[in-house]
Amino acid sequence: MGAVLDAKAYASKADRDSNRQSTRIQTINREIILDAAIAVFAVHGFRGSTVDQIAAKAEMSKPNLLYYFRRKQDIYRAVLEHTLDDWLTPLSAIDPQGDPIEELRRYITLKLKMSAENPAASRLFANEILAGAPVIGDFLKTRLRQLVHEKAGVIRRWVAEGRLAPVDPTHLIFTVWAVTQHYADFDVQIRAVLGSQIDQPGFREQTAQAVLTIVLNGIRPRG
Amino acid sequence: MGAVLDAKAYASKADRDSNRQSTRIQTINREIILDAAIAVFAVHGFRGSTVDQIAAKAEMSKPNLLYYFRRKQDIYRAVLEHTLDDWLTPLSAIDPQGDPIEELRRYITLKLKMSAENPAASRLFANEILAGAPVIGDFLKTRLRQLVHEKAGVIRRWVAEGRLAPVDPTHLIFTVWAVTQHYADFDVQIRAVLGSQIDQPGFREQTAQAVLTIVLNGIRPRG
DNA sequence: CTCTAATTTGACCAAATAGTCAAGAATCTG
DNA sequence: CAGATTCTTGACTATTTGGTCAAATTAGAG
């Protein structure tokens, strides 16, 4: 898929030195920085995060970090860029030729899995959206919008063919997003309510089962 | 219900002067400040918001604002306190004696209404939770936890009596929270995807209808 | 109206923060 | 190994930010 957000001038000193290929150290350190940055931005958002925090988490001096990404904004954009594609893949993968219930089951399961395995990515988006989507706003209005319209069309066709109960396709997609995001973003709240049982093996499967029961039975056509 | 979070020393100069009653001006200005503060904190969270922003939105000088709330923390706590009770009321109101489907329909409808009418409150919580619930953590682990356990018990009984399809009660509550919060917190994303249709009259009813269809049909026992 | 207490604010301070820079250290290339 | 390049960092600057304070203004009680 490639560059999702508009490339912004030059991100670093290394970049500015013509478009030479990245060195080994550059590759390693950029990865380290992005990993540290997503953890920090996910908790406090862009405004609430500091370059020092990211540098500390990356175990790197601040000037060194700024050697790879000249400005805080550049780190932030890079992190979003780095995560955005992955986030859309599950929806893209819904297959119009497949079995409706099976496709949606797979979609929900995959989304829940991603939320569980990479909650920081989910929280990063949540923060960006809460702040008014200053960086990914255009992306939402173009790429995301188009993808949702496309997949809503698929679901609408399934409904028309009687293979799904009558349901508003867009709101169905929103509902799935809502629930899957929730388990990542509100993890602290869920932990507070459930206590230790969240760490028991099988909790994830149990969650998936419960969500699938609620959502799928709601859209499955009555016998 | 009263004080939800632990009172923290004295919030303001006025408070410190013994527990004299609030003056007219105090009442007005505290209200103005809290209104301004919720709008600011809802967008950028605690760390990302500045006292100057709040003062500007309240059309008040910063020292004047700090005359009513001595520290940024105090404003933040007051805003959360001010909102927390309202947020729980709908769940509290679920009546074990009522009709299951009717009770849940009312709960979901009310939650959606609150999200639509006061999205800032919803986003304030979202930010607090994303930041790790530093302030309301205790509240979540005590009051919220207890309330959820109680209402989960009610739902479990309904299921046992065959008045609801088999469903995990806690996950059902989480699902409802997820969806209702989503329409407030991710408003920007929803707007980006739907475009202008979100502002058409009847959109809220349409949303409620769609959500109720998905969730309720999923838990309604099959004929 | 007068006196007191409450309210308001300009000017200020210390700490935090984004970002710079020059010089030293490590790495790579031939 | 030698020279060039890349990488790293201590020390620094300008700006932002949370919070203070004394003095001026306004509101309220009698």
Q: How much is the ipTM here?
A: 0.92
Q: Is the dihedral of CA B148, A131, A136, B192 positive or negative?
A: positive
Catalogue all structural domains in chain A, each as residue range(s) with its CATH number: 13-77 (1.10.10.60), 83-219 (1.10.357.10)
* Pairwise CA distance, residues B206 & B188, whole Å: 18
To test the contact with chain A by mutation, choose from B91, B141, B207, B214 the residue with the greatest count of A C-beta atoms within 10 A, namely B214
CB neighbours of residue B175 within 10 Å: 26
A137 — contact with chain B (CB < 8 Å)? Answer: yes
> In chain B, which among 161-190 make CB contacts under 8 A with chain A?
165-168, 170-172, 174-175, 177-179, 181-183, 185-186, 188-190
**B167:A46 CB<8 A:** no
Query: What are the start-end ranges of the H helices in chain B?
Result: 13-16, 24-48, 51-57, 62-68, 72-92, 100-117, 119-130, 137-139, 145-160, 169-185, 187-194, 203-219
How far is CA B126 from each of CA A43, A79, B46, B185, rounded to the nearest angstrom? 11, 21, 11, 7
In angstroms, the CA of A5 and the C1' of D2 are apart by 44
Task: List all nucleotides in chain C with at least one atom under 7 A from a protein Cβ.
Answer: 6-11, 16-22, 27-28
Nearest residue on chain A to B127, judged by CA atoms?
Answer: A127
Q: What is the pLDDT of residues A102-136, one digit of tens each?
A: 999 999 999 999 999 999 999 999 999 999 999 99
Q: What is the pLDDT of residues B60-102, one digit of tens each?
A: 999 999 999 999 999 999 999 999 989 889 999 999 999 999 9
In angstroms, the CA of A13 and the C1' of D1 are apart by 29
Q: What is the pLDDT of residues A54-86, one digit of tens each?
A: 999 999 999 999 999 999 999 999 999 999 989
Of the candidates B71, B63, B65, B8, the residue with the CA atom closest to the CA atom of residue B35: B65
**Whether the predicted pLDDT of A14 surpasses 70:** no
Q: Are B170 and B152 in contact (CB under 8 A)?
A: yes
Residue numbers in A near B192 (CB within 8 A): 133, 137, 140-141, 144-145
**What DSSP letter does each residue of A18-73 carry, written as one string?**
TTPPPPHHHHHHHHHHHHHHHHHHHHHHHHH--HHHHHHHTTS-HHHHHHHSSSHH
- Higher-pLDDT residue of A184 and B14 is A184
Q: What is the pLDDT of residues B186-217, one digit of tens each?
A: 999 999 999 989 999 999 999 999 999 999 88
What percentage of chain A exceeds 90 in pLDDT? Answer: 79
Of the candidates A142, A173, A139, the residue with the CA atom closest to the CA atom of residue A156: A173
Angle between helices A187-194 and B145-160 (to 10 degrees): 70
**B172:A210 CB<8 A:** yes
Q: Are A104 and A23 in contact (CB under 8 A)?
A: no
Of the candidates A127, A93, A122, the residue with the CA atom closest to the CA atom of residue A180: A122
Instruction: Give strand ranges (E) for A108-203.
Output: none
**B61 strand C contact, CB < 7 Å:** yes
**B170:A44 CB<8 A:** no
**B218:A222 CB<8 A:** no
Of the candidates A176, A214, B151, the residue with the CA atom closest to the CA atom of residue A206: A214
Q: What is the pLDDT of residues B55-65, one digit of tens each?
A: 999 999 999 99
Cα torsion A181, A183, A188, A190 to 10°: value is: 140
Q: What is the pLDDT of residues B133-191, one digit of tens each?
A: 999 999 999 999 999 999 999 999 999 998 999 899 999 999 999 999 999 999 999 99
**Whether the predicted pLDDT of A146 surpasses 50:** yes
Residue numbers in B near A170 (CB within 8 A): 193-194
